Amino acid sequence: MKRTMQMKKAISGWKLALAAPILVGLWGCGGAPAPKQAAPETVSGVETQTVELATIPNEVAAPGTVASIRTAQVAARVMSTVDQVTVHEGDRIHQGQVLIVLDDREFAARRSAAEAGLAQAEAAQQEARRGAAAAEAQASVAEKTYKRYVYLRDQKSVSPQEFDEVEAKQQAAQAMLAAAHARQQQAAAALQQAKDEVSAASTVTSYTRIVAPFDGVVLQRFVDPGAMATPGTPLLSVEETSRYRLEATVDAENMSGIRVGTAVPVELDAFPGKKFAGRVAEIEPGANPASHTVQVKIDLPADPALRSGLFGRAWFRQGERQAIVAPEAAILDRGQLRGLYVVDAAGIIHLRLVTLGAKTETGRIVLSGLGSGDRVVTNPGSRDLDGKKAEAGR
């Protein structure tokens, strides 16, 4: 019984649901007339401009990343323990500034040993000089005596035995002189070798003081005190901050007309609305076989705000083209959207969303949403003009 009553109620509900739109239709057809739509509000002071196709430079955007002209991986030249690291990431550095100090005790000991060897070599050279001087004196006396005895022998005034004795002494003195000169040369060579060893030991010891190769900034620090530094292993990464360039990637098909020295405007995402006057400095000799692109390095003007890693675009001119350009003052920002107020033939203002391109000298390129001949409001300000009527005569 209860189920029968529920079914009757459901059928009655469907009948009412079906009857409702029929009653509404009858009211619309034979009932009272619909109310008239109110006239749009008229606004004054609206200035407009008709946009037309304009001839603009055809610029091709090449994305790239800012990099310093000079970067360096600072590494040790000797194996030793790191005693001090005097800088941190982001610190400014100057050429010749000590950045890292290594343990130099072993190298200092080697230098001391080399200096001791140098002192011995200097003493040996002095002794060799004195020996050579004495040998020269003896050789000189022996030579003079020998010459006198030659004269006396020719005069038959000395016996052959006496002459032979003098001659033997003269020859011995010459041999001693030659030996003294040889010892002097050996001492001089030993002295030079000792000097070279001291110089080498001093140079190696100086490698324990790792200095900045140029003025710049510390990008990365890879080591802390107590670590073992080995030759060739990077300890710090530094870059010069006085000159930067954009390393842009250009499609190979757009390389015509790009030469070293070509002036190129550059925009960086970190500085919206600002253009940098760049100039092509280097062009990669060949294209990448995988991506069919060419790397172009563009020098940027000196600017203290520039940093490595900033993303940007270089705009290379490739002739001219036709485009719709809207006045900058007419563009509205609505969060992530861009739009303009367009006035139709009846004078009614409509908000129209558009897609914008690059800036030009006369305005902003409109990629979509606006056509040639459209009339746009050039002084929208902060007013809500959508759906309103522009006062005639503007």
CA distance 296 to 314: 10
Q: pLDDT digit of tens for each residue in the chain (394 aa)? A: 334 344 344 334 433 333 434 333 433 444 455 556 677 888 888 889 898 888 888 888 999 999 999 999 999 999 999 999 999 999 999 999 999 999 999 989 999 999 999 999 899 989 988 988 998 999 899 889 988 888 888 888 888 898 888 889 889 989 998 998 998 899 899 989 999 999 999 999 999 999 999 999 999 999 999 999 999 999 999 999 999 999 999 999 888 889 999 999 999 999 988 999 999 999 999 899 999 999 999 999 999 889 999 999 999 988 788 899 999 888 998 888 899 999 998 888 899 999 998 778 788 889 999 999 899 998 988 888 888 888 865 5
CA distance 16 to 164: 161
The closest alpha carbon to 187, from 119, 118, 128, belongs to: 128
Which pLDDT tens digit goes with each residue over 147-183? 888 888 888 888 889 888 888 988 998 999 899 899 8
Architecture of domain 60-68+243-319: Beta Barrel (2.40)
Which pLDDT tens digit goes with each residue over 309-323? 999 999 998 878 889
Task: Return the exposure string of 177-204: e unless at least 16 CB atoms fall within 10 Å of the residue's CB, then b.
Answer: beebeebbeebeebbeebeebbeebeeb
The fold of the 48-56+324-390 domain, in CATH, is: 2.40.420
CA distance 314 to 262: 12
Q: Is 101 exposed, middle or buried (0-12, 13-18, 19+ CB in 10 A)?
A: middle
Q: Could you tell me which residues are beta bridge partners of residue 50?
A: 375
Domain boundaries in the chain? 48-56+324-390, 60-68+243-319, 76-102+208-239, 105-206
Q: Residues with Cβ < 8 Å from 203, sequence gap 6 or more? A: none
Do 341 and 349 touch, CB atoms closer than 8 A?
A: yes
CA distance 354 to 363: 14
Q: Where are the alpha helices (DSSP H) in 207-311?
A: none
**CATH says 76-102+208-239 is which class?**
mainly beta
DSSP 8-state secondary structure symbol assigned to residue 33: P
Amino acid present at 313? R
